[in-house]
Every structure is written in structure tokens, then in C-alpha cells.
Structure 1
Amino acid sequence: MGVAYSVGEVDHLYTFFVQWSPEIYTKGNKKNRQTRYLIREKHQNRYLVVEKNKVAVINKFLSNPVNPTAKNWEIITVKDSKHRLSVSSEDSEAEEPEYQEEVDDVLPVLDDQSQLLNDHHLKRLAAHMPARCQGYSWQLVYSTAIHGSSLKTLYRNMAGLDSPVLLVIKDMHKKVFGAFSSDPFKVSKYCYGTGETFLFSFNPDFKAYRWSGENSYFVSGNLESLQIGGGGGGFGLWLDADLYHGSSFSCPTFHNASLSSQQDFIVQDLEVWTVQN
């Protein structure tokens, strides 16, 4: 039986490979050290990490497509993709400055008052949200000020949710930082999420750390902790079961600096927002 994917179904193809070889998304697996390749839709900034030993299968699939539009796909290395993406980004900024200014000026509408986000925070974050999140209101899903400090409660409040979430933290040093996750937080055996996920920090200037393409350790969670980013000596962002102790280390997933002023921090307040469309 054959399976055909159209050019616009990148996310479906990504899911297919996660289900095909879930072991490559678990931590500590030596296969993650192999050379990675990307499936890239021509003229689009859409990518899919693929193990080296899967390239032959994908090449065969693409060279005999059921759907003729599949010819619009090519396989390139991660290094080449980063170069093309940087060139594409420069061209977009040069060609669409007026549009970018309009996006930067749009403030998202919150359905509740935030204890952590002001207009400056909202403006900078909104400009880095995926296009599918633009123009929609943000709903407060979890707040330590309202719901107490419990990772279990955070998971419970997101049960049944099927939309991206924004995690915002203020530590005891008044630093604001967090993460945008393409998927709601949940307990899961394997890592989940997509390349839309990113880390951010206002420490003191705004900085967003997007997916590097080196691994797919976006988000993982259990009843003891929540982890975002990994693959190195520590997580990009880690929180304990009480949402009180946290840490932030540079990690291969995002090539980020520590989000707080210190790698280990104490949480003062925490909020999670969802962008529903």
C-alpha cells in the first residue's frame, strides 16, 4: 500500500516519521548522534528532520511520487537549510518592512489580566508567534496566583486542550522569561512539539531562541518535572513538580543562553496562556 502526501502536508509527514521511529525522540539514544537531513518544501520555510539511514527511503518515495506535486520537495543538509533560511529571512525583511511594522504594532487581546506581561512584553512576543496565532485572543489557562503551585494542576487544566501555549515565568530576581510551545503541556513518554516551539527572555532585552534543527527534544513532561529543550548537559528550561525550583541551561535544541540571570532560579509567579482560534 502506498501513501502520498501533498506539498502542503508537512506537519502530517512529520507526524508519520515520529510514529514510524519514535525511538529517535527519546533521550540518551545513540542514534541521535547520526547525521541529520531535512526534507524541505521548495520556496517555503518548512523543514523535517530525518535520520541519515532514512534518506534512501525518502529519496525513493520522492522519486516515484503518486502526486506530481511531490516533485516540489528536495532533501538538503541541516547546514544548507540554515544558510538558505538566513538568506530568505534577510530578503523578507528587505521586501516587507511595512508589513512587519504592522505586525509589531498589534497587541494581542487577553481575556484576563496578566500579572507578568505588560504591553512591551506582548508586542515583542506577538511578533514572534506563528502566523496561525496572529489576530486571536489569549486565554489564561494556569496561574500560580490563582491555581497555586502544582505541575499536576497545570497538566489537568490543559487536559483536552488542542492549541499552542505560552509559558511565562518571573523569578525572584524579577526576570521575565519562558517558552512558546506548539502543543499544550502534558505527561508523555516521548518528546512532543514542532519547530514552532521557542524559548524567550527579557533579560533585560528581548531575545527569542528558535529551533536549531539539531534535535527534536522540544517538550517532555512527567509528574516530577517539565522539560523544554535538551540534548546537552541540561535543559533549556526545567521546572519541578511544585513549580518552585527551576533551571535554564544552554541546549542544542535552541542554542539558547540561560534564560534567567542564574542557571538555577526560584519561581515567583508563573502563567500559561493559550492562543485559541
Structure 2
Amino acid sequence: MHPRTQSYSSLPSLPSTLTSALSWTFKALTSPSTSPPLSAPLPAPGAGLAAHTRPSPSPPSLYTPPALPPLPALRLPRDRLLKQALAEEIRLLLPPRLQLHEHWHCVYALDIHGVSLGTLYSRCSGGGGGSGSVGFVLVVRDSLGGIFGAFVNEPLRPRHGYYGTGECFLWKSRLLPSLPSSSHPSSPNTETHLSFQAFPYSGVNDYMILCDWSYVSIGGGDGKYGLWLDSTLEKGVSACCPTFGNEPLSEDVGGKFEVLDVEVWRVGGH
């Protein structure tokens, strides 16, 4: 017989295992299903949700912290070089531990205690308390009417080498005439306002305080002093210095000035 006319009966029989598999598949497709449905019914409302539901985030807190109380008003004598408005400007730059002190003590005043650097040193040493518990504000007035100075975190005293920390800073101020009133531009204006500038620690060097029996100086570097006073408290020098990156504190030409008054105020202690 020609191969093309071979009947199906002459084909080799399928293996019994394959026949059984085909027979089972045919029955599974044509008979009613007894297996459980592919998708289970939805659970009753609320059933089993606790195990699958993430807790909702708590609502944002409505608590607002109370505002800090204002600093207590400073109580300074009115007849001193350091006035209330200037002291308040300096106070804002003090370390937080010293800002709450409302009593500042004038430990040295040139017109009361005499022209002596030694007296200034000795009066700074008393009533200081522990380290870091006090600070000192040096106030200088020159012949041009400028008022400037420094804050130092340790007493002024003779000592070998520089001392003090980055809490120290220089400052300067002047009283300037206020602008004329817009309602009366032609009327003379006798009111003044305080111009204040501060120069904090720059981090360039650690030349904060340097004192001996012949001078006191704050800030230095490159052969210059931020503020320097001689032993008689009559002559002074102020120049730009790397420690504070400051402007000259005095308006006098060349940075050299004549001293008219000096005060030192202790903040903190007893």
C-alpha cells in the first residue's frame, strides 16, 4: 500500500498512560465541578479587618508651645556711660546663660575709681563666681563722641598669652539724628537714634584677650589690634583684625584715638 493511503488503524497505539490522562481531562471538563470555587465569598462587614488594616496615622498635634517671656528690663544707673538702649543691644548678643540677668554691676568707672589699669584689673577679679558664670562689658568713649567696646567671657587680668573663647565680640555705636517727620519736614528735629554694630568671632584665630600691666587688648592678628588701651587709659588704637573681622571702632583717622571715659560692667555673679 502507498504510504499516503495508510489508514489510521495502522498508526501505532498511544501509550496507556497518555490515554488515561486524556480521558481524565475530558471527564473533568464535561462533568459538574465538585471543587471549591476559585474565589471565596467576601467576609462579613468588619470580620477579620483587624489583622489586615494598618492603623491610621495620628492627627497632627494642635499643641503650640508657649512663647518665651520677654527678658526682664535691665536696671542701670542713668548717670553712667552705658545707657539702657545700648545695653539692650549688647545683651541680645550675650551667651544665653547671661541674658536673663537684669542687674549689671559697674565694677570700674574711670571717673570714680581713677586712671589706673591695675585698679581696673583688681576690680574685675572680685565677685565673679565660677568659670563661665560671668561676663564683662568694656565700654570706651573717645574724643569724637564715639562709644564702643567689647564683651569678654573672662575677667580682664594680666596673663601670659591670649585667653577667652569665641563668645567674645567687639561692638561700636553712635547717636545719629533721626530723619525729619513727614508731617513737619521743615521743623528742626532734636531726636536721635542709636546706631549699633557688632563684630562676632570670625574663627580665623584665637587672639581674643591679651592683657599685661602696660595694656589691655581685645582681638588681634597681622600685627593689629581690634581694641587696645594703654596703661594710663588715655590712648587707644582700633584697627581691622582677623579675630573679629571688624571695622575700626573709632572714627578717628588712622585708628588712634584719645580716651575720655572707660567703664567695665560685670554680667552675672554676685
Q: What TM-score do the two structures reach when normalised by structure 1?
A: 0.60
For 2:152, the equivalent position in structure 1 comes to 181
Amino acid at match of 1:169: V
- Which of structures 1 and 2 has the larger relative contact order (alpha carbons within 8 angstroms, sep 6+)? 2
Structure 1 residue matching 2:224: 3-state secondary structure:
coil
Deviations 1:125-183 (A, max 9, x none): 11111111112111111000101111111011123435210000111111110000000
Counterpart-to-counterpart distance in 2, 1:130 and 1:180: 10
Q: What does 1:72-111 align with in structure 2 at a 5 Å threshold?
A: 102-103=70-71, 106-110=72-76
CA contact (8 A) 1:107 1:122 kept: no
Q: What does 1:238-249 align with in structure 2 at a 5 Å threshold?
A: 238-249=228-239
Deviations 1:106-136 (A, max 9, x none): 53223x4452122221221111111111121
For 1:196, the equivalent position in structure 2 comes to 167
Specify which of 208, 211, 224 is matched with residue 234 of structure 1: 224
For 1:225, the equivalent position in structure 2 comes to 215
Structure 2 residue matching 1:169: 3-state secondary structure:
strand
For 2:258, the equivalent position in structure 1 comes to 266
Specify which of 126, 134, 140 is matched with residue 99 of structure 2: 134
More helix per residue: 1 or 2?
Answer: 1
Counterpart-to-counterpart distance in 2, 1:118 and 1:158: 20
CA contact (8 A) 1:107 1:119 kept: no
Deviations 1:229-269 (A, max 9, x none): 00123100000000110010000000000011021111111
Counterpart-to-counterpart distance in 2, 1:114 and 1:211: 31
Deviations 1:174-230 (A, max 9, x none): 111000000010000011111110000004520010000011100010000001100
Matched, 1:120 2:85: yes
Query: Which of structure 1's runs of 4+ aligned residues deviate more than 6 A?
Result: none
Deviations 1:45-86 (A, max 9, x none): xxxxxxxxxxxxxxxxxxxxxxxxxxxxxxxxxxxxxxxxxx
Structure 2 residue matching 1:216: 3-state secondary structure:
coil
Amino acid at match of 1:219: I
Total equivalences in the alignment: 177
Q: What does 1:24-35 align with in structure 2 at a 5 Å threshold?
A: none
Counterpart-to-counterpart distance in 2, 1:130 and 1:208: 14
- Structure showing greater radius of gyration is 2
For 1:250, the equivalent position in structure 2 comes to 240
CA contact (8 A) 1:193 1:218 kept: yes
Runs of 5+ in structure 2 lacking a partner?
1-64, 176-194
Over aligned residue pairs, what C-alpha RMSD do you find? Answer: 1.9
Structure 2 residue matching 1:273: 3-state secondary structure:
strand
Amino acid at match of 1:117: L
Counterpart-to-counterpart distance in 2, 1:121 and 1:175: 13
